[in-house]
Structure 1
Amino acid sequence: MDFGAVLRETRGGRELPPPPAFAEPAADLAERARRALYEVADPEFPISIVDLGLVRGVEADEEAGAVTVHLTFTATACPCMDFIEWDVRQRLLELEEIRQVEIVTGWDPPWTTAAISARGRRLLRSVGVVT
């Protein structure tokens, strides 16, 4: 299945806002991977999964080119889990130094709106979503 086409359709053609501007270059592979995840949109809201608070952590083995992403979702029955995981893998594998992506899903603590970043709240308010 072409999850990319499905994701474009569910977003209704909305573009994801650009990632934040960082003052310093990423220090390591884990940080480069985390920053790349700002380009992975939540299928239901026009913000990144980082800003939505779904990314709990990123670990990297620079030598192996392996990245582990710790994700959570807004609900255990979230219908978008497969789409998001696919999008995470696709985006990270675009980075030349990444050859392997592992995704670990965690539910403790449960996701709440408190996990949304300040930037994410501003972006959501700009499209009429109150958090």
Structure 2
Amino acid sequence: MNLEDRILTALEEVLDPEVGVNIVDLGLVYEVSADENGKVKIEMTLTIPECPLADEIVEQVKKTVSQLPGVKEVDVRLVWEPRWTPARMNDRAREEIRARMSAVE
């Protein structure tokens, strides 16, 4: 497994605190790249630009990725284009959200 794949797998542990689903399944991670020197660049978005937990999510991403072997530096860039929509979620995210909503009802 290459470093980019390991990064995406690790990011599945980072949850959007308001939704309770990981940021990969939600479709918030747009691009991951790593060079041979261990410098990682991540482009991601949030469900809404004015997310009050933006700093917390970005810090969790940096902390999670920086713990991977071979990673020396992590640069996280929040982008707003393309805008996030629920269509970016995968089926696993949809199922988790449905299950949470059913449990509340």
Aligned to 1:39: 13
Q: CA RMSD in A?
A: 1.1
Aligned to 2:32: 58
Please list the CA deviations of residues 63-91 of structure 1 after superposition, one character each: whole Å capped at 9, or x if unmatched.
21111111011111111110110000110
1:100 pairs with one of 73, 87, 100: 73
Q: TM-score, normalised by structure 1?
A: 0.74
3-state DSSP of counterpart to 1:90:
helix
Aligned to 2:22: 48
Name the structure where strand makes up a greater proportion of residues: 2
Q: How does 1:1-131 map to 2 (within 5 A)?
A: 26=1, 28-61=2-35, 63-128=36-101
Aligned residues: 102
Name the % identity.
Answer: 38
Q: TM-score, normalised by structure 2?
A: 0.91
Long gaps (5+) in structure 2: none
The structural deviation recorded for 1:116 is 1.0
Point out 4+ residue stretches in structure 1 off by more than 6 angstroms.
none
